[in-house]
Amino acid sequence: MPKFTPSLDDMQFIMHDFLKITDHYQAMGFEDASDPELVNAILEESGKFASEVLSPLNHPGDQTGCKWNDGVVTTPNGFKEAYKQYCDAGWAALASSTEYGGQGLPYSLGLITSEMNVSANTSWNMYPGLTHGAIHALAHHGSGELKQQYLPNLINGIWTGTMCLTEAHCGSDLGMLRSKAEPQDDGSYNITGTKIFISAGEHDMAENIIHLVLARIPGSPQGSAGISLFLVPKILDVATANGATDNQVTCASIEHKMGIKASATAVLNFDDSKGYLIGEINKGLACMFTMMNSARLGTGLQGYGIAELSRQASLEYAKERIQMRSLSGVKAPDKEADPIIVHPDVKRMLLTQKALVEGCRALAYYTATLVDKVEYGHDPDGSADKILGLLTPICKAFMSEAGFECANHAVQVYGGHGYIVESEVEQMVRDARITMIYEGTNGIQSLDLLGRKVLRDRGEALGLWVKEIKTGCATVDASLKQQADEVSALCDEWLQLTGAVGAKVQGNMDEIGAAAFDFLMYSGYVTMAHLWLQQANASLNSSKDESFNEAKRQTMAFYFARILPRVKTHKALILSGADNLECNDFEI
């Protein structure tokens, strides 16, 4: 696979020129992170680790995969050593609380460094990525004793974490889960049940694995209202267990997957395994969603992170591969044919990748600043939290859809060579495909957005976001007025579509499900249009060289001309209703 190179210019542009992120950090009280030179140094060093350590392991790891033998999982060569290097350098603890051994830098800065790890080696990043989610849930909902006992080792990467939700008979419908938690006299619980699809559920990279497990206490209500969350360590006493479980947590197998093959996806058996309640009894889903929301933003980041790798590979190949002559005349007279980058259809695919990747990057970074505001108590009126709730399902679903599209474009740019393993780009398609499924399928994200985040709160969060977008439209340079007017008009249409769906729902609740996916995609394209408009505006006064700034404005023009019109199709589909989904063959 072409070596990953961090897109530091674009990352720094979005952070400094667009988001003014060091001013944001200053307002959050992060004095160290308010120094642009320090922030850039962190990005550069993180980029070196991603490109020099993780990237070379990516394709070999895919070819080797993880190995299971009698409950023991071995990761590909180099993964364990890279993880130790990652922890020793302090990357694991970058954005965690100093109270438990972290470095105390902002959440958003940690997420931005993770992007490069995802692009370089998505499978490897699953191991620390899931741990960050476990830390987040435990920090918010765990008792003081549990935090003291488990957070320091999780934060520093000595231990890793998982979230254990899914069971064979219930995928996303967690109210059907059967795992049980029997109360014990010492205040602990004995957890029994089998969980499937557990990312990083078993491996050889850390001395212990801390599982966050959903289970039902006997006598609790049926359905999701009766689920509690428990911390279940693989090993209770590391000093005496010699690496094996002393808590009856066993790995029955690992999945043989389409992609992310170097990430161990485990079937875990819990057999009277000692666990400790996190949060309140029967409030487990609320606690887990603290972790899930973090994971959803991370999944969106995976989508465009893989797309960044596909973009780099495509661009490099298109400049070198020669095929045919340009329709407008010979461009490389010293060669037998012209590089394929001169052909309009190849340019279309390359610019689509660039527009979607850089648009998703802006969306992820902006959303991460909202997490900062909410996490660190700088959201006095709750508006950041409301907009964050609205954008989270968009980030997960829209960015993963865009990432898969970009990976497919990479294969197409390579042509037949892209379809064979040796080119190493077909791995991108396989790795990107899962992002549309896990952490709640994109259909579920769409229901969450339209049903819960828009209609249930009568469009309050959407109204706040539209207001912010329109404020941005009103303040851009006069040279961008045409695009600003287009975005403003789409915002009005967005609200009208919401009202139209809301009216239909009064007669048939299936109208929510029928419209949801297209509503989310419409929302994503309009949101990205706003972010591209703001990037173009920032480029007019950027400290970057003029070639970079002009490319920004050219890519914005491409987005508005060739990608944003997709909203017309989504609008038609939103309004088409639920009746066209009926078919006699689908009757139960």
Enumerate the β-bridge partners of residue 266.
198, 254
CA atoms of 91 and 103, how far apart (whole Å) = 9
**Amino acid letter, 174:** L
3-state secondary structure of 367: helix
Share of the chain above pLDDT 70, in %: 99
pTM, two decimal places: 0.97
Q: What is the pLDDT of residues 215-259, one digit of tens each?
A: 999 999 999 899 999 999 999 999 999 989 999 999 999 999 999
CA atoms of 125 and 276, how far apart (whole Å) = 27
Q: What is the pLDDT of residues 320-374, one digit of tens each?
A: 999 999 999 999 999 999 999 999 999 999 999 999 999 999 999 999 999 999 9
CA atoms of 305 and 293, how far apart (whole Å) = 18
Angle at CA 264, nearest 5°, toward 258 and 267? 95
What pLDDT score was predicted for residue 295?
Answer: 80
CA atoms of 337 and 316, how far apart (whole Å) = 17
CA dist list (Å): 155 to 95, 148, 271, 454 = 9, 11, 27, 35
Which whole number is the average pLDDT over 433-450? 96
Q: Is the pLDDT of residue 293 over 90?
A: no
- Residue 163: left (phi > 0), alpha (psi -120 to 50), or beta? beta
pLDDT band at 1 (very low <50, low <70, confident <90, very high): low
What backbone phi and psi angles, to 5 degrees, belong to 308? Answer: -60, -40
DSSP character at residue 4? P
What pLDDT score was predicted for residue 510?
Answer: 96
Residue 137, CB-side half-sphere exposure with 13 Å CA sphere: 33
What pLDDT score was predicted for residue 170?
Answer: 87
Answer whether 73's CB lies under 8 Å from 202's CB: yes
Which whole number is the average pLDDT over 129-133? 92
Mean confidence (pLDDT) of the chain: 96
Residue of 401, 424, 146 lying closest to 274 (CA atoms):
146
* Distant-in-sequence, close-in-space partners of 434: CB < 8 Å, separation ≥ 6: 257, 258, 259, 260
Which whole number is the average pLDDT over 462-486? 98
Residue 439 is a catalytic residue: yes
Least confident of 273-282, 291-300, 417-426: 291-300
Q: What is the pLDDT of residues 3-37, one digit of tens each?
A: 899 999 999 999 999 999 999 999 999 999 999 99
CA atoms of 189 and 101, how far apart (whole Å) = 28
Answer whether 353's CB lies under 8 Å from 409's CB: yes
What pLDDT score was predicted for residue 288?
Answer: 81
- Which pair of structure tokens corresponds to residue 494? 């967005």
Share of the chain above pLDDT 90, in %: 95
- Residue 70: left (phi > 0), alpha (psi -120 to 50), or beta? left
What backbone phi and psi angles, to 5 degrees, belong to 472? Answer: -65, -40
What pLDDT score was predicted for residue 550?
Answer: 98
**Residue entry with tokens 């972010």:** 531
* Distant-in-sequence, close-in-space partners of 30: CB < 8 Å, separation ≥ 6: 104, 105, 106
Q: Which position among 439, 486, 511, 546 bears the catalytic label? A: 439
Q: What is the pLDDT of residues 487-499, one digit of tens each?
A: 999 999 999 999 9
CA dist list (Å): 456 to 13, 452, 575 = 37, 5, 19
Give me the count of residues in the chain.
588
Q: What is the pLDDT of residues 156-201, one digit of tens each?
A: 999 999 999 999 988 788 888 999 999 999 999 999 999 999 999 9
What pLDDT score was predicted for residue 69?
Answer: 97
CA atoms of 149 and 144, how far apart (whole Å) = 9
- Domain boundaries, given as residue ranges, for the chain: 441-582
